[in-house]
Amino acid sequence: MIHKSISIVLMIALVLACGQNTKNDRTFLPESVGAINALQVVAEDALWNGPVGDSIREWFAGATPGLPQSEPLFSISHLTPELFSDFARHSRLNLVIALADQDTSALKSNAYARPQLLALVQGTSQASLLSQLSRKKTSLIAQMKAFELKERQRRTRISPKTPEGLAEDFGVEIQMPSAYRTAAGTPKYHWFRKELADNGSTNILVYEAPTEMLPRDTEYPGKYIRHIRDAVGSKLLPVEDDSRFITDTTYVPEVAVENIAGRQVVVTRGIWTLNDAYMAGPFLNMAIRDTVKNRVLILEGFSYAPAMAKRDLQFELESILRTVKFIDHPTPKGE
């Protein structure tokens, strides 16, 4: 049934190469569908059930970092090419794999719906498909995650909330869904919380640490983030029976250094716990080196959801934290 695979790839390639949907046409594209982090893979059964499909599942459904239990990077569904028509083309996130007479790949936005991202990889053999996917997997996953973050932020803007007092106390603004409430707001720290239907909550904590607690040129910034969390952040949240909100040392966190809002940021994904209670969950910590105010600004999103999957909870929190905007001259409270 390879001819079906070739025909659909040619059709998609035409869209990618020729821009079938002009700028004006795209205004009238249907709205895309799909849950956050849901990836639709279009491939013949022979590819999906063989080494190519095995590798796609290994790479694109690999474990999400920073979670207490294994959850896939993407929730993958499979569709054969002959079924990739009509409503199926409205899926927001797509990976199309096919055998063809040449090795090519392409990425297209809003080919059949909006917002939509469609990645096409075609090769002359299964070996060439595997080679291309192996080379491109890191870039594809990063682009898909960035696309999904924008979609999560777009959904937030449907009913947004910009917390009061954050700009005056810390000189920043972040945008979050209106379901979040302010659990605590003081010049020392701000705590925002959203209750979950299934016994739990997602939380955002904002506070400062002295700049010397995060040396600029350290080779292993993760150990300093742990110290900041356990020495400063652990004292801020009210916990029963004098427990402390600390870092779980049995989990090796994932640490990356990025540039966000023009500032160096150490991004850490790990597990929090209480020092004397059986409670734990994932956290995403963004330690922003702010040389203007000579401080380390901490933005942290963490979940407590013992009965729920946590990937998309943390993804929402990340989408919120990444809206951070620094305010040079905040309006005083009450004005």
Per-residue pLDDT tens, the chain, 335 aa: give them: 444 455 555 555 555 554 455 555 556 899 999 999 999 999 999 999 999 999 999 999 999 999 999 999 999 999 999 999 889 999 999 999 999 999 999 999 999 999 999 999 999 999 999 999 999 999 999 999 999 999 999 999 999 999 989 999 999 999 999 999 999 999 999 999 999 988 899 999 999 999 999 998 888 899 999 999 999 999 998 876 677 889 999 999 999 999 998 899 999 999 999 877 678 999 999 999 999 999 999 999 999 999 899 999 999 999 999 999 998 765 655 55
- Cβ count within 10 A of residue 222: 18
pLDDT at 303: 97
Cis peptide before 163 (omega within 30 of 0): no
Instruction: With beta carbons less than 8 A apart as the criterion, state whether 66 and 283 touch.
Output: yes
Q: Which of 218, 217, 215, 188 is nearest to 298 (CA)?
A: 188
All structural domains of the chain: 2-156 (no CATH), 161-326 (3.40.1000.10)
Q: Comparing C-alpha atoms, which of 139, 94, 130, 125 is closest to residue 112? A: 94
What pLDDT is stored for residue 11 in this prediction? 54
| Residues in CB range of 88: below 8 A, 6 or more apart | 40, 79
Gap between the Cα atoms of 177 and 193, Å rounded: 11
In this structure, are residues 114 and 34 in contact, taking their beta carbons and an 8 Å threshold? no
Confidence (pLDDT) at 18: 44
Angle at CA of residue 228, ends 226 and 233, nearest 5° = 105
Contact assessment for residue 170 and residue 146, using Cβ atoms and an 8 Å cutoff: no
